[in-house]
Amino acid sequence: ELSSLLEKAGHTVAIIDKRPDAFAKLPPGFEAKRFVGLGFDREVLEEAGIKEADAFLAVSSGDNSNIVSARVAREHYHVPKVIARIYDPMRADIYERLNIPTVSTTRWGVKQMILMLTHPGEEIKETLAAGDLFRMRVEIPSHLVGKPVSSLNLDGKILVAGVDRGGKGFVPVGSSTFQEGDYAAVIVQKDAHETLDQLLQPIGEH
């Protein structure tokens, strides 16, 4: 999925996987270069073009393999952008201190599930600023229809960055108002979820 999206965006992509059958998952017509081997094997990395690479993403199923690959890419080949997927949140914290950006899918998934349990109708799209901010998609309730988009903003806590209306999005301006069926893309400070819930509830239910 990641490789496909990068290629569609116009990037030249090379994929390394130790299992040849893994490439069968790629969509038809996919033009990325494919190399069988380990992501930290320097011979394989060089064959894949790491010396000219602008970015390296370590996304295998093993934390150890990912961090070793990421460190080789950063420290030996000096690739400008290196990111590692790490399942273990505690390891992710350690590797962040080594200056290797990590994506902890376990931590993200847990936050998403907790939010779905405690904040129905809201969905975390991503965490920002080391988990201090969340980008969320929220359905606009009926009592906010016709109200200014800015009525959902709260200085330093909540910001409506965009509105999804009928499958098309726009960045709101001062005169923008909510319409029925709208969804808002909201940036929320980590301690402001309850405040957002209150703003989304009809008056009298706070």
Structural contact between residues 192 and 157, judged by C-beta atoms closer than 8 angstroms: yes
Task: Note the pLDDT tens digit of each residue in 142-194.
Answer: 999 999 999 999 999 999 999 999 888 999 998 999 999 999 999 998 888 88
Quote the distance between the C-alpha of residue 198 and its chain's center: 26
Is 119's pLDDT higher than 60? Answer: no
pLDDT > 70: percent of the chain: 85
CA–CA separation, 169 vs 163, rounded Å? 5
Confidence class of residue 132 from pLDDT cuts 50, 70 and 90?
confident
Nearest to 74 by CA among 86, 92, 56, 48: 56
Q: What is the pLDDT of residue 204?
A: 58
Q: What is the pLDDT of residue 128?
A: 63
